[in-house]
Amino acid sequence: MADQEIVYHKITRFFVTGFGIGYVPIAPGTAASLLGVLLFIPLQSVPLYYALPLLFLLLGVGIYTTNFAYALFGKKDPSCIVIDEIVAILLVFFLIPSFFVWWTAGFLLFRFFDITKPPGVREAEKLPGGWGIMADDIIAALYTLLILWLTDYLIQGGLFLRS
């Protein structure tokens, strides 16, 4: 294996494991989601019209690298691959108000839907390669947003959206 290829493998592993957090022995998806929250904190003032293209870019890079990592790890969706949780929780946090109650609800709901895999999430997981790895978490994020938006609508009579 060429030195360049070894470096590429190491960079890919580092990225898809959430800078290594995917190797924590207990609840790597939850640890990665917490990392996503920590990454969001300094980015929370970024306007949505900049954040969404960044998230789509991260999603695309995530699909590409997890597809490659799928071959590196030799498993369909190894628990150490956590870039999917990071991108999905960032999506949730960019689309809810920057307020502790919403953050807590967003985090807990996202973890609930990611772990329980309701209809749509489980089916998305069956997509091939990197698509399946990333898609199930994005759909779990969409479930989370739907619940939070509906809650906001019922409480305040309107849908919140970041500007």
For residue 80, is it within any domain? yes
Tens-binned pLDDT, residue by residue, of the chain (163 aa): 678 888 888 898 999 999 999 999 999 999 999 999 999 999 999 999 999 999 999 999 999 999 888 778 877 778 999 999 999 999 999 999 888 999 999 999 999 999 999 999 999 988 988 899 999 999 999 999 999 999 988 888 766 655 4
pLDDT of amino acid 161: 58
Residue-by-residue DSSP string for 54-111? HHHHHHHHHHHHHHHHHHHHTSSS-TT--HHHHHHHHHHHHTS-SSHHHHHHHHHHHH
For residue 124, is it within any domain? yes
For residue 161, is it within any domain? no
Identify the burial level of 126 via C-beta atoms within 10 angstroms of its C-beta, where 0-12 means exposed, 13-18 middle and 19 or more buried.
Answer: exposed
For residue 163, is it within any domain? no
For residue 151, is it within any domain? yes
- Predicted TM-score of the model (pTM): 0.92
pLDDT of amino acid 163: 45
pLDDT of amino acid 157: 72
For residue 70, is it within any domain? yes
For residue 162, is it within any domain? no
pLDDT of amino acid 15: 94
pLDDT of amino acid 76: 72
Backbone angles phi, psi at 132, to 5 degrees: -70, -35
The three-class DSSP label of residue 45 is coil
How many domains, the chain?
A: 1
For residue 106, is it within any domain? yes
